[in-house]
Amino acid sequence: MTPAELLEVLNDPERSSSFTSVDKSQVYRWIKGQMPNPMMQARIAAALGSEDDPSIILRPPEMDWMSDFFRDRSREELERMKTMLEAAFPKDQKTGTER
C-alpha cells in the first residue's frame, strides 16, 4: 500500500465520526519513524487488513533482521552473541542506558 492509498483508507468518508482525519504530512512522519499513538496504530493495522497486534506491524525493520539473524542458532552461539553484544554496548550502571 502506498502512502497515498493509506491516507485514502484512513480518511474514508465512511469512517466513524469519532476518528479524526489524517494529514499527508503525518503519514510521512510515520514513514520516517515517528510512532503513531496506540489508537492510530489500530486504525493503520485495520487499514492494512491485519488483525495482528499493531505493534508487530509497525516495529522497526531492524527487528525482523535481528530475529532472522538469531533464528535457528544453537544455545552456545546465542550465549556468545549475547556476551559480545553486552561487551560492545555496555549499560551505564546508574541509568541502565547504553553509554
∠ at Cα 98 (95, 99), nearest 5°? 95
Phi, psi of 83 (to 5 degrees): -60, -45
Instruction: Mark whether 10 and 51 lie in a shared domain.
Output: yes
Domain total of the chain: 2
Instruction: Mark whether 10 and 49 lie in a shared domain.
Output: yes
pTM (two decimals): 0.55
- Would you state the pLDDT for residue 83? 95
- Would you state the pLDDT for residue 71? 92
Domain range for 47 = 3-57
Phi, psi of 69 (to 5 degrees): -65, -40
Low-confidence ranges of the chain (pLDDT < 50): none
- Would you state the pLDDT for residue 22? 92
CA–CA separation, 82 vs 64, rounded Å?
A: 17
Instruction: Mark whether 31 and 9 lie in a shared domain.
Output: yes
- Would you state the pLDDT for residue 99? 56
